[in-house]
Amino acid sequence: MPIYFYPSSHHLPLNIESIGNHWNQDAVGRPQGYPYYHWLQSNHGQGKIQIGDQSILLAKGAGILLFPFTPHHYAPVYHQWQTSFATFYGSLASDLLQPYGQEGYLMIENKRHLSAVDWIDTLIAEDQQSGTDPLRSSSRCYHFLLTLLQEKQGILTEQHPLYQQILAPVIKEIETNYDQNLTISQLAGMVYVSPQYLSRLFNRFLGQSTSQYLLNYRINRAKEYLVAQKHVPIQQVAFAAGFQDASHFTALFKKRVGITPMKFRQLYH
């Protein structure tokens, strides 16, 4: 459960201060709040967050953005609570989030569009491989913020005609048959569009290409198999999640998550 701190780089309009994933979350109390924006997302289990007289349950998959100097307290509920998080600051963050600062937080119930954990996992893996890059981390944080605000504003609505007509059937196919040998051409053919156009729509509505969405979905299913079925061999987990080759699955998993499937399983057992 790593946590990384970034050197100050105030010359950038958006800067990450710290980032972490697979964190076994203990109780935290901050009567004066935290000096930076703080994104906290629930990976497993659930936590309760107290902000003033409001008590918020952060269930699996939900996330909350706490604004600077907002007094708060959070703690696990019943069992172990695992989170991913990022703290950041900068003039661009203040400008983008200023309209939402009255309550001191932004709550997002569903992370389908956000892929916040994937973003954090990917950035940590990149930093481990090639060292920290403030510009890269700033860019990834900016993309996440835009997606979060689009989600909050309802721009990424599932009621949009293009989403309903083209993306919804493809997403259903992915979520139903992710363990099959799906190709982007097959998915595009289902809805009578080109693979390039389909990916443009995925990027527009979900912030990622068709292939990225399919890979992220398979990786997330693999995580669930690794935790829920601790005695199933890694090769079998790979096949169950839709990967045709176990070694390729292990390489992709490590690149995306930052650790091997076996190490990920050991975090929970």
For the chain, the structural domain boundaries read 3-153, 161-268
pTM above 0.85, yes or no: no
The rounded distance, in Å, linking the Cα atoms of 163 and 152 is: 17
What pLDDT, on a 0 to 100 scale, did the predictor assign at position 117?
57
Residues of the chain with pLDDT under 50: 113, 156
The rounded distance, in Å, linking the Cα atoms of 112 and 213 is: 10
What pLDDT, on a 0 to 100 scale, did the predictor assign at position 178?
95
What pLDDT, on a 0 to 100 scale, did the predictor assign at position 243?
95
What kind of architecture, by CATH, is found in domain 161-268?
Orthogonal Bundle (1.10)
DSSP-derived 3-state class of residue 115: coil
Q: Could you tell me if 113 and 204 are in contact, meaning their C-beta atoms sit under 8 angstroms apart?
A: no
Residue 124 phi/psi, 5-degree rounding, is: -65, -40
What pLDDT, on a 0 to 100 scale, did the predictor assign at position 76?
96
The rounded distance, in Å, linking the Cα atoms of 67 and 189 is: 44
- The CATH topology of domain 3-153 is Jelly Rolls (2.60.120)
- Give tens-digit pLDDT for 165-218: 999 999 999 999 999 999 999 999 999 999 999 999 988 877 789 999 999 899
